[in-house]
Amino acid sequence: MSAVEAATYKNYIGGQWVPARSGQVMESLNPATGAVLGLVPRSGPEDVDAAVQAAARAYPGWRKVPAPRRAEILFRVAELLVRRKEDLARLMTQEMGKVLAETRGDVQEAIDMGYFIAGEGRRLHGYTAPSEMPHKAAYCVRSPLGVVGVITPWNFPMAIPSWKILPALVCGNTVVFKPASYTPLLGLKFVEIFEEAGLPAGVLNIVTGPGGAAGNALVEHPLVRVISFTGSTETGLGLAEKCGRLGKRISLEMGGKNAAIVLPDADLQLAEDALIWSAFGTTGQRCTACSRIIVHQDARKDLTERLVERARRLRLGDGLLPATEVGPVVSDAQLARVHEYVQIGQGEGARLLVGGKRVTDGDLARGNFYAPTIFDEVRPGMRIEQEEIFGPVTDLIAAGSLEEAVKIVNGTPYGLSASIFTRDVNAAMEAIADIETGIVYVNHGTIGAEVHLPFGGTKQTGNGHREGGTQVLDVFSEWKAVYIDYSGRLQRAQIDRD
C-alpha cells in the first residue's frame, strides 16, 4: 500500500474527530514489510492545548458522575474489546511486529484491566477510624485530581494504555492520551471503543505526534495535573525533572535489566522454555525481557547448549504467519541500536554464541529482522550486562553460589523483574527476600504480569508508583480526610485532654 492509498486518521478532541491544526500527517509503518498502514495527525502544541482544554471542560461533570456509573462505561469498553479482539490483534501485529499470539495477549490484558477496574468503581475504598475525641467521626475518601496526561510506548500499545487510562477514568479524572509514534493506529482504535461505549465528550482525548512536540506540550501544560509515562529511563527522568519544577505528580515506569537465576537442581527443560520466551518474546522488546541469565557453574554447560540450539531454531518472519516465532524489531533505528550493543559486547570480550546479525533472507529483507542473540562469558560491569538493549539479546553469566547470583541480579541501576529456577524452597524464599526488584518469579521467566497485582520496579525502573492492582488508584486520586464533630462544643484534638 502506498502513502497515497493509505487511510487518513484524525485526533479525537472534545468528542470530535479532527485533523492536526497544521494539516500535517505522519506515517504508521509495518516493520515486517515496510508497508504504510495509515496516515495520522502530526500534532503540535496547539493540538495538545485544544485536547487539554476539552478535558478541563469535561472534568467538573465527569468527577460528579458516581463511580459505579463511571465503571459501567468501562465495563462496556471491556465487552467491546472482547468482540474486536482478533481485529485489534491483527492490526497490532502489523503496526509493531510481534506475533499474533502475543498481540492477542496484549488485547486480552486490556480486557482484563477493563473488567478489574470496572469492579473497583463499586469500591474505591477509603476507610473509617475512631476519633480521639468523643462524639466525632473520622474517615477518608479518594478524590480525583483533574486532567491526566498519558504517554505510552509502542511495545504494548493496548495493554499499557489500559493500565493508565482505565484507572484514571474510574477515579473521576479526564485524560489526554498521546500514544507512541510507532503505534498511533492502536491508540486511535482504543479511543474509538471508549466513544462507542458511551464515554462523554471530552473525558478522553487523543493526539498523535512526536514526543518532542506533542509529548512535551502535554507535560508542560498548566492544566495537566498528573503525567503517567512509560518509556526509557533517560526520557522518564527528564520528565520527572520538568514535573518537579512545575509541581505536577508523575508516575514513571522506565527501563529494566532483568535477570533469571538458574540453580543446579532446576528443571532445565522448564528453564529452557521459560528463558527462550523471556529473552526473545516480543523480539526482546519488553521492559521485563530477560537480558541476563545467571547460571550456576554446575548447570552452565547443559543449559547453554539447550539455549543455543533452541535460539538457532527460532523462526523469524511476519507475525501474522502461523509459523513465525519471532517478529521484527520495531524500526531501522532500533535495529541499529541492537546491533551497536552486539558490537559493544564483542569489544568488551563477551563470546558470541549465536545470532549477532541482521537477517535479510528472502522476504525478511523487507523488514527489520535481527537474529536471536546469546552472549557467553559476560562479566558483571560490562555495558551489555548493565544497560538496557531492548532487543533479542541475552547474556549468560556464571555464578558459584546463590549469594553470588543474587548480588549480580542486584548489581544494576534497574530493579523491575527477576526470577529463579530451583526445586529448593529455601533457596527460592531466600532469593525472594534478597532480590531488589518489584517483581519476582519462581520457576518462571521474568515476564507475565497479571493485572490484579501491582506492576513496577525499584531504583531507576520507576519512582515508587505502581500500575495494576488497587495500588494504581493512588496515582490517580488524592486522599481527603474528613472529620465530623457532633458534640455541640469546641473540641481541640491534642489540646483538650482529660
CA pair distance 454, 472, nearest whole angstrom: 7
* Bridge pairing between strands 439-442 and 417-421: parallel
**E-strand spans in 48-133?**
127-130
Q: Which of 287, 290, 388, 467 is catalytic?
A: 287
425-434 vs 402-409: helix axis angle to the nearest 10?
30
Q: Which of 102, 120, 220, 253 is catalytic?
A: 253
CB-CB contact of 271 with 281 (8 Å)? no
Q: Which residue, chain included where needed, has cell 501491582?
A: 454
287 among known catalytic residues:
yes
Q: Tell which phi-psi region holds residue 405, choosing left (phi > 0), alpha (psi between -120 and 50) or beta.
A: alpha
CA pair distance 256, 277, nearest whole angstrom: 17
253 among known catalytic residues:
yes
Diameter over CA atoms, the chain: 87
Written as one string, the DSSP assignment of 188-252 is HHHHHHHHHHTPPTTSEEE----IIIIIHHHHH-TTEEEEEEES-HHHHHHHHHHHHHHT-EEEE
Q: Which residue, chain included where needed, has cell 516465532?
A: 325
Q: Which residues, in sequence order, are CB contacts of 358 under 8 Å at separation 6+?
A: 335, 339, 369, 370, 371
N-to-C CA span, the chain:
82
List residues with catalytic annotation. 253, 287
